[in-house]
Structure 1
């Protein structure tokens, strides 16, 4: 394939019960998303595959998807049915590569071995991501695959921020702050004029939530740590806790590792506080009548404000705050609850602009620019895959 030829990249974001996908055409003519969709309810009695082209729904059907392999076959069949060109490469979002892999790269047997050995660094995410890679390998062994790591963006964090206050041998074993949501942060940085010159906090707020402190386009600190469980309060994840809480639960309640994992990742956060839902939109709809829902929202905003103050200290000031992710992009009430109490720190939000389409949410004279920018992790996967596949071609 020539340097100027268009390459079609299938981007996969694999979870334990769903695979989100998008196919892009990239080349000298630019970047175009041809289709996107998902295979859902994998392993359940009735699975679902849907696909749309632009805003037009094209396929939406129920079928059995017992494993990742059947789900991927259904995805490929749906793309072929709509005459989408077969991909020349498959790019995967990988939440973590553990201590040994933190840069985007082509997938080979050695990388797969290392990923299997690194499961404890992202136990919620890596098993499904590895299964998707193996399923593609089995069904389409001739298609090269690319690993795009959410940890890659955070490699510029200095050791003073990434080293945990634990015995030094644990650092050498890979116990450190890694940071996540890196593909989202990469995209946001690419959208800021002058490559994010100055001091920026990016708030990726969704079911999983984190923030990153960025100076001149480089990450200097972030809220998530060794795993995506740490940092902010999230939909069902606790975020940061006093480690003594875990000791208490082990000693007084008899919790084992599996019970702690379920508690921290699946039963906590907004769900745990509200006792009804981990979904922010649901809680916003309930807040007028349900004090627990209202408290969950208040605690989410409170912890987000504290994180902004902490990252401002790490940066030595702030030029702009950018909201992204499902909550960050769509929940104006949450943006207001986060920013309004921070007026004394220079975050002056315009209430009318906050309810509008964006991107600028601050008043004209605000010392800190406040923006909302929709993220596009799939496009970042496509770009990195295209670049790495070009690099593997022999020179002509």
Structure 2
């Protein structure tokens, strides 16, 4: 391969991208950016490797009805102009659900795409946009190799008991099991842990990926042992607009007594619950922290309560805890949330340095803390690029 690697990470309302050199041990992208506000008023921004703005949150020529396909076509044309004499050789995608079939990066062909289409019901907020992006790239350049990198793949190291629901075995055999998500984020954090923890990185670690989508992963030897998300990305922690773990009897009640349709319940649980539903204000943690409304405070407190309770359960899965890592949008930026979660876990021996925490420093635990507490930025794009490099011809490595 003689060209650059493009990574695409499509969400329901955003498209993040990065361009990497084919050989780069430092995992540094020379262009990064995003298209935000898809479905409302798309805005495009991009930076070079030094953080200098190439484009600054400029509205695109597209309307609120612009699709992911429209915006991908716009992005690819812009990149072609931006790269000049450089070319794109391969495109890597974050694909949220790989099911039982896919655990490692795979080159996308018609057969793979058809199988991934079949998993859309398991990740309805993400998988359709992931696959729409794949199709948009194929329409632009059918000859360009595309690689799928799976959020579920990192959790395939879990033993059987960690994946089973207490359902009839026939359903488990059909694939109704716990898959886990945010695997690209956890893969990145696992890779950099030795830089911050030394030999302790191989010990009992919990990584809290807290953002609009939120989950936790318990690791041993930097491999997934247990995680909070399950069959879909709806399970586990309270999130921005998703409810997280829910008594299944609530779903039955909504169906049988409230007369709601499955589609209405899906919208309720994925798009109208979580921080947004409890507060009635916003799914954005920063907006809630800035609000004086009692509903905003209650939403934050519930988020923290659920996070601390889930974390405590994962400690049991590990048989103890050596380090806790916060990552993703809330985990990296909300000193208040980190402080509140750790306060509920002081019984574990966690003691944080409040000054370091307020400064969002890398290590926020005190020297006397029995457990190291870190704040590490994640980099899913670097993991996707690494997955693409597995398909580089040996002569180019």
TM-score range, shorter chain: over 0.9
Counterpart CA distance in 1 for 2:241 and 2:247 is: 18
Is the Cα–Cα contact under 8 Å of residues 98 and 153 in structure 2 kept in the other structure? no
Counterpart CA distance in 1 for 2:384 and 2:62 is: 28
Q: Secondary structure at the match of 1:127?
A: helix
Determine if the alignment matches structure 1 residue 336 to structure 2 residue 339: yes
How far apart are 1:254 and its partner, in Å? 0.4
How far apart are 1:379 and its partner, in Å? 0.7
Equivalence for 1:222: 227
Q: CA RMSD in A?
A: 1.9
Which of 235, 247, 257 in structure 1 is aligned with 2:262? 257
Greater mean alpha carbon deviation, residues 226-235 or residues 194-203: 194-203
Greater mean alpha carbon deviation, residues 84-93 or residues 170-179: 84-93
Q: CA-to-partner distance for each residue in 1:261-300, whole Å, 9 max, x for gaps?
A: 01100110111111111110001001xx211100111111
Equivalence for 2:68: 68
Give unmatched runs, 5+ long, in structure 2. Answer: none
Q: CA-to-partner distance for each residue in 1:290-349, whole Å, 9 max, x for gaps?
A: 111001111111111101110000000000000000000000010000001211111111
How far apart are 1:355 and its partner, in Å? 1.2
Counterpart CA distance in 2 for 1:63 and 1:180 is: 34
Is the Cα–Cα contact under 8 Å of residues 219 and 225 in structure 2 kept in the other structure? yes
Which of 350, 375, 378 in structure 2 is aligned with 1:372? 375
How far apart are 1:180 and its partner, in Å? 0.4
Equivalence for 1:51: 46
Q: Secondary structure at the match of 1:334?
A: helix
Counterpart CA distance in 1 for 2:87 and 2:242 is: 38
Equivalence for 1:198: 203
How far apart are 1:62 and its partner, in Å? 2.2
Equivalence for 2:19: 23
Equivalence for 2:4: 8
How far apart are 1:55 and its partner, in Å? 2.2
Structure-to-structure mapping, 1:149-298, within 5 angstroms: 149-193=150-194, 194=198, 196-286=201-291, 289-298=292-301
How far apart are 1:395 and its partner, in Å? 10
Counterpart CA distance in 2 for 1:17 and 1:298 is: 26
Is the Cα–Cα contact under 8 Å of residues 333 and 360 in structure 2 kept in the other structure? no
Determine if the alignment matches structure 1 residue 385 to structure 2 residue 396: no
Q: Secondary structure at the match of 1:33?
A: coil
How far apart are 1:69 and its partner, in Å? 2.8
Q: CA-to-partner distance for each residue in 1:120-160, whole Å, 9 max, x for gaps?
A: 11111111111111111111111101000000100011111
Counterpart CA distance in 2 for 1:125 and 1:69 is: 14
Is the Cα–Cα contact under 8 Å of residues 94 and 129 in structure 1 kept in the other structure? yes
Give unmatched runs, 5+ long, in structure 1. Answer: none
Aligned length: 387
How far apart are 1:106 and its partner, in Å? 1.2
Equivalence for 1:39: 35
Q: CA-to-partner distance for each residue in 1:150-197, whole Å, 9 max, x for gaps?
A: 001000111111100111111111100000000000000111115721
How far apart are 1:107 and its partner, in Å? 1.0
Is the Cα–Cα contact under 8 Å of residues 214 and 239 in structure 2 kept in the other structure? yes
TM-score (norm 1): 0.93
